[in-house]
Amino acid sequence: MAFDWRNYRCDAAYDELFAASGAPRPAARSLVEYLQSLSPRDLADRRLAADLAIKVMGITFTVYSEGKNVDRAWPFDIIPRVIPKKEWETTEKGLKQRVDALNHFIQDVYGKQQIVKDGIFPAEILAESVNFRKQCVGVKPKHGIWAHICGSDLVRDGDGTLYVLEDNLRVPSGVSYMLENRGVIKRIWPELFQTTNILPVDDYAAQLYDTLVAISPRPGDAPNVVLLTPGIYNSAYFEHAYLAQQMGVELVEGSDLTVGDDDCVYMRTIDGPKRVDVIYRRIDDLFLDPDVFNPDSILGAKGLMRAWIAGKVGLANAPGAGVADDKVVYAYVPQMIKYYLGEDAILPNVPSYLCFDKKQRDYVIANLDKLVVKPANESGGYGMMIGPRVGKEEHAKFKALIEGNPRNYMAQPTLSLSTAPTICDDEIEPRHLDLRPFILSRGESTYVTTGGLTRVALVKGSLIVNSSQGGGSKDTWIVDIDDDTPGVVTSPAAAAQTQSQSQEGTL
């Protein structure tokens, strides 16, 4: 392999490691200097070591392809994404603010719906929400928290602005890969953790466990927490098993749980039934309880909703939290922050056009070739259209979809997502990426991961970073640097040239 920094160009978008001048950004300086000091053979060996570690550690992800479940090794790039600590502190405050407002909103819409009565949030959006659960009306979970675990997707535009792209409040996934990425990167770049002040991420499992314990109906006792999985054929099963193991809790399926006449949940064990206090459920609402939702579901357990409403078990995330996991509802989060918290949003939304509004719908239809069109409740990048990347046939298809169900569609400008150097075959090239931090809410406090899961579009020019559609990932470094640290003035090309000359005849 012949990796060569002299060929790296980052002119088309904001690059996470390099400024437009080609100089490394201050927080990435030590990383870039080190990478540029390596020979192509060294870099290739590190990449091979990472691939081997992923296989040995069994880090996998299931992709659904042609009706089959394909288990594959987790796709990982060894060049980290770097964010300065000072910027991250502001981002962390913005994420906490956002999740706080979203929890207020969910509690409100299942209660008095005051935000609707006050004309801040349109009644028709709520009326047609596919994730509004009438069974949750009048319920108030412990601490008033519905979304205990949230994954908000962040993207950076060409001018460096960090936007919230969407919020995931049903069953957000990916945090295990964030943690495993760090484990792999420590194996292959141990020397960088000695010379760079990289903030740790390894307290997540403990923080998650504390968040779950906080919603136990028996706070005075040692609560019994379980993780409810759909089973081994789910695409995120690796994560389910990983988190259960890291927290030291049982991994269960619906057939392992029963609800007694006392409305308590019990887990089958070889010693007989054992009461369950908290369920971290990784299955969708509609499969949670066949007595209340889908009667054909075998993934959940009969009576779970009854037990939750009676306050005999904690569920995370709470049923019904998905009412805020909607790309149309997303557009109103800045107004929610102002309404519930009396504050301006710290993190901006991507400008959005809501197709249920005729004026905005007409604009979207007239500009399909310039916009990204998304369905309200799909995930994983499915069902969306990137207007500039498709032809007139696809534009006509989405025009019909929008006109047939305006409430279900929204559109946004096509952002020039930021890039980072990524090893692709025999070259180091810029690839677009996003970031999914994870936020844990437990009432009296909120925790945000140090960085998050950086997802990378491995196909050149692609904006689709989702792992379910072939995307990869990077470790995310939050680096604490002195604000007065000067940036390196040497360009990647010049530094690589100097290195090449100094090691001429040895590569």
pLDDT in tens, 329-374: 999 999 999 999 999 999 999 999 999 999 999 999 999 999 999 9
Strand order in the sheet with 371-375: 353-354, 409-413, 371-375, 385-386
Q: Which CATH class is domain 352-414?
A: alpha beta
pLDDT at 63: 63
Cβ proximity of 495 and 37 under 8 Å: no
DSSP single-letter state for residue 263:
S
* Whole-number Å distance between alpha carbons of 208 and 244: 11
Give pLDDT tens digits for 240-280: 999 999 999 999 999 999 999 999 999 999 999 999 999 99
| Contacts of 484 by beta carbon, 8 Å cutoff, 6+ apart | none
3-state helix, strand, coil in the chain (%, to 5): 35, 20, 40
Q: At how many degrees (to 10) do helices 492-502 and 29-37 cross?
A: 40
pLDDT at 389: 85
* Whole-number Å distance between alpha carbons of 507 and 504: 7
Residue 40 CA to chain centroid, in angstroms? 33
For the chain, the average pLDDT equals 89
pLDDT at 484: 40
pLDDT at 69: 56
Give pLDDT tens digits for 197-237: 999 999 999 999 999 999 999 877 789 999 999 999 888 89
**Collapsed DSSP state (helix, strand, coil) of residue 166:** strand
User: For 169-184, what is the mean pLDDT?
Assistant: 94
Task: Parse the chain into domains and list their residue ranges.
Answer: 352-414
pLDDT at 18: 92
pLDDT at 364: 94
* Whole-number Å distance between alpha carbons of 363 and 372: 13
Residue 12 has pLDDT above 80, yes or no: no
Share of the chain above pLDDT 70, in %: 91
Instruction: Categorize the per-residue pLDDT at 491 as very low, low, confident or very high, splitting at 50, 70 and 90.
Output: very low
For the whole model, what pTM was predicted?
0.90
pLDDT at 350: 94
Give pLDDT tens digits for 412-451: 998 889 999 999 877 889 999 999 999 999 988 999 999 9
